[in-house]
Structure 1
Amino acid sequence: MTEITTAQPRSLTTALDIPRPPDLSWYVQARQPVGYEVNLTRGLLNPDNPALARSVGADGYTSVRTLVVVDKVVDGLYGKALRAYFDAWRVDARWKVMPGDEDTKNLEQAVEVTAAMTEMGILRRTEKVVVVGGGVLMDVVGLAASLYRRGAPYVRVPTTLVGQVDAGVGVKTGVNHGTHKNRLGTYFAPEITLIDPEFLRTVEPRHIANGLAEIIKMALIKDASLFRLLEETVAGIDGDALADCGPAMGEVVSRAIAGMLDELEPNLWEWVLERSVDYGHTFSPSLELRADPPLLHGEAVAVDMAVCVALAVGRGLLSQADAERALGLMVAARLPIAHPVFTPELLEVGLADAVKHRDGLQRLPLTNGIGDCVFVNDVTGDELRRALEFVHAYAGTRDGVRDGS
């Protein structure tokens, strides 16, 4: 008689030959592709222009839903045209009108956007959030979109110059927290940014200058041709000129956007902390949050850039003549280059905070001639004092100081 033997089951650990703790570990590696579009268009709110409709999946025949978060000032100016556009394309738009001022750039506002998404019952992948407004609102809504169900698609429609050439073209989102700018944030790309210069026709002059600061930044650290073009045209740059988008203004805006994207694309996640686009953003966060009355972002950046121009002169990286050209361009653009709050002590505080943000090194970008930059890690307090004296000496002969009055 044949004996039948039943095989005993082996434990999973034995079967897979997995070692027992404490020698048990795994390493997981993955990459997430990122792709988004930046589209410079005209007549975005004209129903004959399909760009905005297509960005939310509309074809004009089948009804689709979207959540539109719009700056309350923009809504007063363009709300009727926005609603007519979406109606024409059979878009069932749910509306959330919010303030877009710097003092509302906080986590509570981002959570409020997520509450609107919940109330709508927005679908996680196929229904989009559209944000229409300036850089502050785009940052708030971008953060909300990144947090909601760990990521909901969104579309940016920047309506200010700083939004069109800076805040609207990257992947960073963020809100202020405590005494720090953008301390809470994420990297979260929109599906598309739709830029229509026509919005700039209703932007007040101070906010045009605010955006020009970011364009001047790109010229100083990357594009000498853009710098020369700005020198030739700055006196005539206003909202109407930018909205008309003639050959010169079209080149100014497109070069600024192209330069920014060229710097951002290889380093979207900031694995490399030496970033030329941080020019003007080392000391400015400290000034921006302390100035009273408040400074706009670009105004604080301009004061920061002026100090960096002076630092470059002190190190022999920039000639006296080119330094005066750089400072003169900022003043001609109606930007401040000095501020009473910006003391040597505050500069040191700002630099120390930047060192923490840049992982222990200054990584301070300075112009290496107009149109190029280098990074330094050994700026001293004495250098900062001398730089501030240089700027004040220049500003004393020009209208380049905003005194907070």
Structure 2
Amino acid sequence: MSDLKATVTETKTSSGHAGFHVEGYEKIEYDFTFIDGVFNIENANLANLYKKWARCLAVADINIYNIYGEQMKKYFDHHGIKLVIHKTKIGEKAKTIPTLLSIVEAMTEFGIIRKEPVLVIGGGLITDVAGFACAAYRRSTNFIRIPTTVIGLIDASVSIKVAVNYGNYKNRLGAYHAPIHTLLDFTFLRTLPIAQVRNGFAELMKISICSHLSTFELLDKYCEQLIELKFGRADGSSKELIQAADKINFEGIHEMLRLETPNLHEIGLDRVIAYGHTWSPLHELIPETPFRHGHAISIDMAYSATLANSRKLITDEEHHRILKLFSRAGLSMDHETFTEDILEQATAAILKTRDGLLRAAVPSPIGKCIFLNDVSKEEMNAALHRHKQIVKEYPRQGAGLDAFVDASDTGECPAGEAEHDHVVVKNPLNSNGVKDINGSNGVNGKKKDSITDIECISKLTQPPTTKVMA
């Protein structure tokens, strides 16, 4: 939520021309709640956010809907809230203006009211695109986020940036638009594929290598267990692992907020959390099948660590420790497409984004960071050649596991499955039974309309709440 205060004063230029000077200050505040079982019927946190409206438009990842859709319906039905679900698939190739417009169409069809919040459920790609749709719709429509992936929970949830890709450039079109609330439910990781857990692990490496040594130590200690047992949410997780994972997640998010909230609109361009994001924004989309985001930034981070080591900013031991952790996690450290030419193109692109300076974040030492602005083309290329030789000494010669997007990432639908569909759950106080409605914007031109019975599925965990004000 925002509260804008401003002053207007009369001015006069040195040439005698009259005018005005406007000085405005916008207070931005939004909340985070850590909660296990957000769709448990006994847990009214989410329902309370929609009581005023007695209805909810949800933009949901289709994979999440397939797993949790029935539970979502029963939850809202139980609380007497009319639910409309707009199902979508959004991957890097579908993180586009047409996808954004499909969400806008759903908002128009729903008849969203000015201050009424859209509920966005899915990974970082979903929250990015749906958040941008909300930013654009009537120039500012509220939304509530429920991220469901490691990247969504740890990284995308913290930022107020929303965007779509343009051409081969990630997030080239976007805005700054804060949600009114973010609900952080790590139990979604139980059903997240291991490849996506690994993908998100990279974001924790990003923040820990350059800003939080104690988190890096925990990642180093529990690396394989964190990935294989989905941050302590999978069956067989020990109490020790669960406690370590919860500490990593809480402190990682807290550190991201500490760094981001003073600079929500990126007025300051030296950003610690831009580690791994100097050359990766262009490189990520270069292969015909794009990299998963975590692997793209891991290549950038590993190369940046080699660059830092070449400058003696980190020791050989620290350098090896960083690269070894990337390798143990199954994250990429190099690829044949990471070339001198790509470095040159990516550097030219990022200089425009960063107001003419490279501002490359590198560790110095682990847990702290500095920014490099004076890296010559010759130094970059020399570091690249050295990096490619060094990573050959590691398993898979620097290649990552599950490094490229698949059908679950791309936003492409299997044959016969519509990319966007609606399921409407009616308020049980107003109607009953099940009916079929033929209409538009659904599978083969048909819209599904159903009402479900109510069942209690699982148990409530009381959440702590974090409020952000900047």
TM-score, normalised relative to structure 2: 0.79
Q: Please give the alpha-carbon distance, in whole angstroms, between the structure 1 residues aligned to 2:374 and 2:153.
A: 34
Quote the residue 1:301 is aligned against: 297
Cα distance in 2, alignment partners of residues 168 and 64 from structure 1 = 25
Compared CA separation, residues 79 and 382, structure 1 to 2 (3 A): same
Determine if contact 1:276/1:365 at 8 Å carries over to the other structure: yes
Give the partner amino acid of 1:50.
Answer: A
Partner of 1:86 in structure 2?
76
Bigger relative contact order, structure 1 or 2, given CA contacts below 8 A and separation 6+?
Answer: 2
SS of aligned partner of 2:56 = strand
Alpha-carbon distance between aligned partners in 1 of 2:289 and 2:283, rounded to the nearest angstrom? 11
Quick check: which one's helix share is greater?
A: 1
**Partner residue, 2:431:** none
Counterpart check, 1:31 vs 2:25: yes
The answer (yes or no) to whether the contact 1:200–1:240 under 8 Å persists in 2 is no
Give distance in 1, aligned partners of 2:300 and 2:321.
Answer: 16
Contact 2:201 2:227 in 1 (8 A): no
Unaligned runs of 5+ in 2: 1-9, 234-240, 405-470
Residue of structure 1 in register with 2:3 after alignment: none
Using the alignment, how far apart are the partners of 1:22 and 1:93 within structure 2? 60
1:232 partnered with 2:226: no
**Count of residue pairs brought into register by the alignment:** 384
Deviation of 1:235 (Å): 1.5
Is 2:376 aligned against 1:380? yes
Matching of residues 68-147 of structure 1 within 5 Å: 68-125=58-115, 127-147=116-136
**1:110-146: per-residue Cα shift (whole Å, max 9, x none)?**
1211111111111111x21001001111001100111
Higher strand proportion (structure 1 or 2): 2
The answer to whether the 8 A contact 1:38-1:169 is kept is no
In 1, are the aligned partners of 2:92 and 2:290 still within 8 Å (CA)? no
Aligned to 1:166: 155
Does the aligned pair in 2 maintain the 1:204–1:239 contact within 8 Å?
Answer: no
Partner Cα separation in structure 2 for residue 70 and residue 380 of structure 1: 45
Distance between the aligned counterparts of 1:324 and 1:241, measured in 2? 25
SS in 2 for 1:272: coil
Matched, 1:221 2:210: yes
Q: What secondary structure does 2:371 align onto?
A: strand
For residues 106 and 224 of structure 2, what CA distance do their matches in structure 1 show? 43
Q: Secondary structure at the match of 2:85?
A: strand
- Among 38, 62, 71, the alignment partner of 1:44 is 38
Coordinate RMSD, CA, aligned: 2.0
What is the deviation of 1:239? 6.2
The Cα shift of 1:169 comes to: 1.6
Q: What's the CA shift for 1:391? A: 2.3
Selected match of 2:288 from 292, 300, 307? 292
- Give secondary structure in 2 for the equivalent of 1:80: helix
Measured in 2, the distance between the counterparts of 1:116 and 1:110 equals 10
The equivalent of 1:338 in structure 2 is 334
Distance (whole Å) between structure 2 residues aligned to residue 282 and residue 201 of structure 1: 32
Structural mapping, 1:129-208, within 5 Å: 129-208=118-197
CA distance in 2, matches of 1:133, 1:188: 17
**Per-residue deviation at 1:293?**
2.3
Q: Cα distance, 1:24 vs. partner?
A: 3.5
Q: Show the counterpart of 1:250.
A: 246
Of the structure 1 ranges 388-397 and 371-380, higher mean CA displacement relative to structure 2 is found in 388-397
Report Cα offsets for 1:338-364 as digits up to 9, x if no partner.
011000221121111111000111111
Where in structure 1 are there 5+ consecutive unaligned residues? Answer: 1-15
- State the AA in 1 paired with 2:173: L
C-alpha change, 1:268 and 1:239, in structure 2 (3 Å) is farther
C-alpha contact (below 8 Å) 1:260/1:277 kept by paired residues: yes
- For 2:379, what is the secondary structure of its paired residue? helix
CA distance in 2, matches of 1:235, 1:180: 32
Amino acid at match of 1:188: H
* Aligned counterpart, 1:5: none
8 Å CA contact 2:194, 2:230 repeated in 1: no
Once the two structures are aligned, what percentage of the paired residues are identical?
Answer: 34
Q: Deviation of residue 393 (structure 1)?
A: 2.0
SS of residue paired to 1:77? helix
Kept after mapping to 1: 8 A contact 2:30/2:181: yes
1:263 aligns with 2:252: no
For the pair shown, which has the larger CA radius of gyration, 1 or 2?
1
**Which residue of the partner structure matches residue 399 of structure 2?**
401
Offset, 1:238: 2.7
